[in-house]
Amino acid sequence: MDIVRDPQQFQQQALAARARGQVTALVPTMGFLHEGHASLIRWAAANAGRVCVSVFVNPTQFGPGEDLDAYPRNPEGDAALAEACGADVLFMPEPGALYAPDHCTWVEVPPLAQHLCGASRPVHFRGVATVVTMLLNLAQPDVAVFGQKDWQQLALLRRMVRDLHLPCRIEGRPIVREADGLALSSRNVYLGPAERAQAPGLHAGLLAAAALARAGQRDAATLKAAIAAHYAAHVPAGEVDYIEIVDPETVQPVATLAGAALAAVAVRLGRARLIDNELLQP
């Protein structure tokens, strides 16, 4: 596996691979890789001839007071895991290498960035869309692979790629969970033992709503109230940021389930802000 730090070198290699007719998959990450990322890299290795993994803690997707400086990092561990999962190239740019000091160009997808995480993290999705556009331009991938835990990010990037006619397919892969249901996340390291014990309750609340939807409940307010009641009982240390039922493609809130809908939640548990989601199939 090659480790490349220079963006121009990374792009030159990508253009040469494209000219050779090699199919490239890109797995963009912020590092501190875990089994969720591993599943994305393994999928990429099984579906593309050339696999690039990027590790870059993107400063522009963190707002003031968020955990940019504390964000966990493990470059050696990331390199070992990426290589073991089949990556051919690991792109690890220095923080200043992607953004010029006078950087002033942004990519925004406002309708998909307003709700859910966008409501409490106003600059987040502008930072994500901008850095992913840079990474797609540098890596020239045929397919870019993202986890479904960040469902809103996935929906927004799909729309961005469609609207800008970017020559790349976006592949979303299922959430990987601990045995007790907690969705894997680099931020799970922030959880203390008491918080970790309550954290599986996030998914359990979503599963309770999914069971109600299967049994015929179509009223979003009732489903949200069921999740909130579950959290009050089983995640008492949690501070709910949002509990929403949205259209899976547009991520706009729905009042009634006409077809499949997405239940999405964000809960602060100690220092961690955890997100999770579950498709509701009426």
Residue 28 found at the interface with ligand PAF (CB under 6 A): yes
Collapse the DSSP code of 6 into the 3-class scheme (helix H, G, I; strand E, B; otherwise coil) and give the result: coil
The smaller minimum CB distance to ligand PAF, of residues 32 and 231, is found at: 32
Provide the mask over 127-166, with x wherever binding to ligand PAF is found by CB under 6 A and - wherever it is not: -x--xx-----------------x--x-------------
Quickly list H helices, the chain: 7-19, 35-47, 75-84, 95-98, 110-113, 117-120, 124-139, 151-163, 193-198, 201-214, 220-234
Distance CA(140)–CA(168), nearest Å, equals 8
Distance CA(208)–CA(132), nearest Å, equals 34
For ligand PAF, which residue of 4, 10, 14, 29 counts as binding (CB under 6 A)? 29
Question: Given CA atoms 195, 272, 268, 115 in this order, what sign does their dihedral have?
Answer: negative
Q: Position 70: which residue type?
A: A
Question: Is 37 one of the annotated active-site residues of the chain?
Answer: yes
Total number of residues that touch ligand PAF (CB under 6 A) = 10
Tell me the two tokens of residue 210.
């999914």
The smaller minimum CB distance to ligand PAF, of residues 58 and 198, is found at: 58
CA distances from 43 to 46, 87, 89 (A): 5, 11, 15
Residue 188 found at the interface with ligand PAF (CB under 6 A): no
The smaller minimum CB distance to ligand PAF, of residues 30 and 245, is found at: 30
Q: Do the strands 239-246 and 261-269 form a parallel or antiparallel pair, or are they unpaired? A: antiparallel
Residue 199 found at the interface with ligand PAF (CB under 6 A): no
Measured from the CB of residue 28, what is the shortest distance to ligand PAF in angstroms? 4
Residues 37-66 that bind ligand PAF (CB under 6 A): 58, 61
The smaller minimum CB distance to ligand PAF, of residues 177 and 218, is found at: 177
Measured from the CB of residue 214, what is the shortest distance to ligand PAF in angstroms? 30
The smaller minimum CB distance to ligand PAF, of residues 132 and 212, is found at: 132
Of 27-35, 77-85, 192-200, 271-279, the window that binds ligand PAF (rule: CB under 6 A) is 27-35
Of 124-132, 161-169, 202-210, 262-270, the window that binds ligand PAF (rule: CB under 6 A) is 124-132
Tell me the two tokens of residue 222.
């009732």
**Candidates 34, 37, 124, 234; catalytic one:** 37
Distance CA(244)–CA(248), nearest Å, equals 11
CA neighbor of 152 nearest in space, from 265, 33, 28, 268: 265
Distance CA(167)–CA(90), nearest Å, equals 22
Q: Where along the sequence are the contacts to ligand PAF (CB under 6 A)? A: 28-30, 58, 61, 128, 131-132, 150, 153
Query: Could you give the residue numbers annotated as active site?
Result: 37
